Amino acid sequence: MNSMKFILPHLYDAHMMQQYKGAPFGELSPHVFAVADVAYRAMINEGKSNSILVSGESGAGKTETTKMLMRYLAFLGGRVATEGRTVEQQVLESNPVLEAFGNAKTVRNNNSSRFGKFVEIQFDKQGRISGAAIRTYLLERSRVCQISDPERNYHCFYLLCAAPQEEIEKYKLGNPKSFHYLNQSNCYELVGVSDAHDYLATRRAMDIVGISGKEQDAIFRVVAAILHLGNIEFTKGKEIDSSVPKDEKSKFHLNMTAELLMCDPRALEDALCKRVMITPEEVIKRSLDPLGATVSRDGLAKTIYSRLFDWLVDKINVSIGQDPNSKSLIGVLDIYGFESFKANSFEQFCINFTNEKLQQHFNQHVFKMEQEEYTKEAIDWSYIEFVDNQDVLDLIEKKPGGIVALLDEACMFPKSTHETFANKLYQTFKNHKRFIKPKLSRTDFTIAHYAGEVLYQSDQFLDKNKDYVVPEHQDLLSASKCSFVAGLFPLLPEETTKSSKFSSIGSRFKLQLQQLMETLSSTEPHYIRCVKPNNLLKPAIFENVNIMQQLRCGGVLEAIRISCAGYPTRRAFFEFINRFGVLAPEIVEGNHDEKVICGKILEKKGLKGFQIGKTKVFLRAGQMAELDARRAEVLSNAAKTIQHRIRTHNARKQFIALRKATIHVQSLWRGRLACKFFESMKREAGAVKIQKNIRRYQARKGYSKLRVSGLVLQTGLRAMAARKEFRFRKQTKAAIIMQTRWRCHRASSYYKKLKRASIVSQCRWRGRIARRELRKLKMAARETGALKEAKDKLEKHVEELTWRLQLEKRLRTDLEEAKTQEITKLQNSLQSMQIKIDETSALLVKEREAARKAIEEAPPVIKEKQVIVEDTKRIDSLTGEVESLKASLHLEEQRADNSERRYAEAQESIEEKQKKLQETEGKVHQLLESLSRLEEKLTNLESENQVLRQQAVSVSMAPNKFLSGRSKSIVQRSAEGGHIVGDPKPALDMHSHSIIQRDHPEVEEKPQKSLNEKQQENQELLIRCIAQHLGFAGNRPIAACIIYKCLLQWRSFEVERTSVFDRIIQTIGNAIETQDNNDVLAYWLSNASTLLLLLQRTLKASGAAGMAPQRRRSSSATLFGRMTQSFRGTPQGVNLSFVNGGLNGGVDTLRQVEAKYPALLFKQQLTAYVEKIYGMIRDNLKKEISPLLGLCIQAPRISRASLVKGSSRSLANSAAQQALIAHWQGIVKSLGNFLNTLKANHVPPFLVRKVFTQIFSFINVQLFNSLLLRRECCSFSNGEYVKAGLAELEHWCYKATDEYAGSAWDELKHIRQAIGFLVIHQKPKKTLDEISHDLCPVLSIQQLYRISTMYWDDKYGTHSVSSEVISNMRVLMTEDSNNAVSNSFLLDDDSSIPFSVDDISKSMEQIDILDIEPPPLIHENSGFSFLLPRAD
């Protein structure tokens, strides 16, 4: 069985050879060495030559088996050195040369031998190898000129094209695709094979074989000449049925061929295009047509290559050397096996004919020899039928009616075609059971071979069968100036030259095959059947149907059937008794007839069906194994008895020696213990004496130390009392100062509180008076004559209120500064007081501890020293002082508590004052709002006055009819609000406050431009501006901010009809039409999301927003309402306008605008565009990384296909690994470039995180599903490879930071856990609970079961999880299926939009749009002056 692996050292090393050397055949496992050993022993013992036939289909390992046979025969017989190298080494070293010129790639094998090789290994009388000869048969010559896809021509052509550059230039070669003989197939290179490396190896092999450098150059010159010869094309000449080279390219190749073969170019052209016919009267030179010239060219190429191959074989045989005195030999036949392709031509016909011959030889030898053995031993047996293929051989080679004979006959007639040949076959063999005519073809035919039916195409049978040498070719090349080429074509005798006897490849083939069969018949044959496990040429894959077909084709199944039907096991009487006599020793000792002894042994063991011949015992299948088992049982019992006796003797002997040694050791240890006891007694007495002296010394030292401590304590207590008195006085002074400061602060706070309350009262009273005045002004405003007076009063009132407001601000500022200074002083004094209290407390604690120690230690000292009565009085005085100190400490603690309480009360009062201050500020803010409302009312009155004036002017100039219809709709007023209700279209351009400041005469002289025309121009200018790439101001998109400010300034959100929204949406849609430009998409995603954020935080839906646009407009859409809101947005009064005050606090501080239907529709459209642009960006990134992800998924197949042979394996592997990891680096590079694009366009990080989260989810789905669907991905090495790629992605997430990567890494949890399971070791020891909860908690049982069953370790050969875990998974999956849970184990890619408008609003930060400079296009336009930044 071909293992499809390069190295299996443990099966074919020297140790294995030693085991099979001399072993009886069948005793050990079947092996190539066993067959070689039998052949060698038979040759030595019987003196007869033997042969070993190695057969099998292409790619089954016949050539490698032949090499192993020669190695083993050299191991058995020894070697005779020849010029420093053994014969076996020389034969093996010739293999690269023969493989280069005789092997080619076929459909089933990349290195198929296209010739038969019979190696004759010659032995001397001592059984040593003394010589060898290589006989080649049946070279496939037609392959030189014709090949089919995906096969290749012979290796030597491709090796020469991959030679070093100087060789290529020397022979004018190039790419194999440029040569006709090579480009008929699309296969030019072999996976894992370097033609350049093999070219150098072939050169070295030629040197070893003995081919000189000059001869090597000549050989490759001939090979190059064949390639150039194939590129010569012909076309019609000037004469009828003549031909000439087609073009300059053909002439170049013709000259190159002549130069390489060292012959005349003109003579070469004549030899290809013309023929000489010799008649008795004259010599006629006839021209050939282009087709005939092409046939002549191909015939010359085949002849040259065949002669070159024969020369190489002869050269190798001369180099190896033969032994003329050898009497015995062992031949090893390596020939191609049975072939059946989709298209079978003349080559397959010859190969299958050869295999039919070899199969007949196998049948005659095996089956007939089996039956002869039964007859010889005279046992009772029945005739065994076997399949005989003689009828197929007669169909092919029988004369005169065989296929080969008919083919030769057709070739001899010039007008014969493949159709006439096929019709001849149909007529001749129409009743033959082995010949089948297809129904749908007129030229094909089918032969039922022993291995199966094969359909042959007879299209090229006639051309490939012709083999005669053209005399013109012979004369041309024999006259070559190159001695090597001339030697390939020696001059023929005149008789042979004159007689143009027809010769065919089929006839030569049959003759060579007959010689081979004669050689095999003269030897004792042995058979080795090589089996190819699969057609994929990969290890560890067994195709059962294919293997059974090969065994059936090789006759192995038939041989097994016959063997099982008979007696497969047979032993001579002596061998049987010698092996199984132990089963019945009493029978062996009592009888001397070997035949009777064998019969009684078999009868005693109860065997049936056996037979006893004249010299052997014949057993049925399985009976030998049964006897071996019983023999092993008897021998095992005998061995156990012997072991029992020996172990008893050894144990008794060991026990006696151990007892004697134990007694001796005990006596020694008892003496040692007595010595130790004496030593311990001496040491104890010395230790007691030392302890007595040390205790006396320590007592004296302690007394001295205690006396000194008493003196030091007394000194310290007196000093402490003095320091305590000083600190008390200092603290009393500090407390008085603090009380003074606190009373001052309380009085000041009361004054400020009273003053603040009076100010609030005044403000409220003044507001009340102002409201009364406002009502009066409203009543007065209804009359046109009182407008001017009311305006003057209101202006004075506004100025007065403004002055009062500034005064209030100044007072409030002074009050806050005084309050801050006072609080700072109090906090500083409180901190210093707290520090002093802490220091006092610490000192008191230390003094108290010192006094307590002194009191406790004083009595024993006094008693021991026996002091006088005066010391006792001193102690009493000290005790009194200590008590007084305790009392003062208690007072200080009370004072500290009082201070803390007062501090807390002060804090509470401060907090109350702060609350009152905040209330006061709120009231001031309300006053400011009321003031702003007053300003708005004043502005409304002014605008109404201006409108009425303009209407009065227009009425005086217009007809009365127009006045009666127009003035009624304008002058009509609302009863409650005082607004003018009528025509909703504004009559004035309110976008610039400069109009209000114009004088009345100016308005009368120049008619005002209508609002619609002005607004249309501004909108057009805005659309042209935003269509350009405006860039960013910091991280803020300029286009979005400009659009928002313009829409808000124009009040577009509050009108019910406008076209500006549709034009903005159309502009965005036109910009994103090019879906492949990620830069443009990112730019508009940033602008759209920012504009959507501004709208979300500004617009609010009004009560009428959801209704139809035809509903009655609210007051804000009327003329007066629009004027009021326009004036409200202009910079007036106290800087509360939109430009300078409305956006100071960012977007969150903007006032809410009641949006109408167009504004809400614009917001929805903008939301849809944000989602669309987001999806386009995400899909573009998926398209970019999908090819790289596919290469990562294909990595296991590529990595195994990238392995090479020889010394270049490690370099190729490292290069392949770098190429594979480059796919992951390409994905990381794409992600990095994409992130840089989004950053450059300031896309919100929230959207960036969402994009990469979905991309990583896509990567997770693709990798995980490929792992579950493809077995080559579910391997240990692929797990390591994907793990390295995930590390690259994790490193990218770390560099991208959480701000942009977010939770993208968590999306890879499925593939991360699956890869972790693939690369973990000791999987059989893992339980299902550990796998499902610890290793892979995210994966389902179906997914775990899929991975566990598909896993295979291509690196270390380990196994998957245990069978118990697999069975538990099946049980759980069955329960899940019963519970109606989905059994799908694949993941789905989520392509939805993973966010909403609220998510964008919450995630994005505030945007300050005040200081953004407008683009140059609108910078100078007065209609956009509100966009210019203004100073506060």
Residue positions annotated with a catalytic role: 58-59, 63, 109, 112-113, 337, 339
What's the DSSP call for residue 1330? I
Task: State yes or no: cis peptide before 150, omega within 30 of 0.
Answer: yes
Q: What would the two tokens of residue 167 be? A: 């060789």
CA-atom Rg of the chain in angstroms:
57
The dihedrals phi and psi of 85, each to the nearest 5 degrees, come to: -125, 145
| Helix (H) or strand (E) run with residue 1211 in it | helix 1209-1240
Q: Cβ(113)–Cβ(120) under 8 Å? A: no
The dihedrals phi and psi of 1107, each to the nearest 5 degrees, come to: -90, 180
Q: What would the two tokens of residue 26 be? A: 């069948």
Q: Pairing relation of β-strands 569-572 and 452-457?
A: unpaired
Q: What would the two tokens of residue 95 be? A: 């293999």
Residues 6+ away with beta carbon under 8 Å from 705: none
In order of 1015, 1174, 1254, 1298, 1400, the CA distances from 1248 in angstroms are 38, 9, 10, 11, 12
Q: How far apart are CA 254 and CA 263, in angstroms?
A: 11
Cα 1267 to chain centroid distance, Å, stands at 11
Question: Between helices 1209-1240 and 1245-1269, what is the axis angle to 10°?
Answer: 150
Q: How far apart are CA 1184 and CA 1172, in angstroms?
A: 18
Q: How far apart are CA 750 and CA 1378, in angstroms?
A: 84
Q: What would the two tokens of residue 604 be? A: 């005693």
Q: How far apart are CA 774 and CA 766, in angstroms?
A: 12
Residues 6+ away with beta carbon under 8 Å from 284: 276, 277, 278
Query: Three-class SS string for 840-852?
Result: HHHHHHHHHHHHH
Question: Between helices 471-478 and 265-273, what is the axis angle to 10°?
Answer: 170
Q: How far apart are CA 187 and CA 176, in angstroms?
A: 10
Sheet holding 616-619, edge to edge: 569-572, 616-619, 611-612
The dihedrals phi and psi of 228, each to the nearest 5 degrees, come to: -65, -35
Task: State yes or no: cis peptide before 400, omega within 30 of 0.
Answer: yes
Q: What would the two tokens of residue 86 be? A: 């053994």
Q: Cβ(98)–Cβ(117) under 8 Å? A: yes
Provide the residue count of the chain: 1432
Q: How far apart are CA 1238 and CA 1254, in angstroms?
A: 15
Q: How far apart are CA 36 and CA 9, in angstroms?
A: 18
What's the DSSP call for residue 1154? E
Counting Cβ atoms within 10 Å, is residue 1239 exposed (0-12), middle (13-18) or buried (19+)? middle
What's the DSSP call for residue 470? P
Q: How far apart are CA 467 and CA 502, in angstroms?
A: 8
Q: Can you tell me whether residue 621 is helix, strand or coil?
A: coil
Task: State yes or no: cis peptide before 1429, omega within 30 of 0.
Answer: no
Q: Cβ(228)–Cβ(276) under 8 Å? A: no
User: Minimal CA–CA distance to 1209: which of 192, 494, 476, 421?
Assistant: 192
What's the DSSP call for residue 482? S
Q: What would the two tokens of residue 1409 be? A: 């749009």
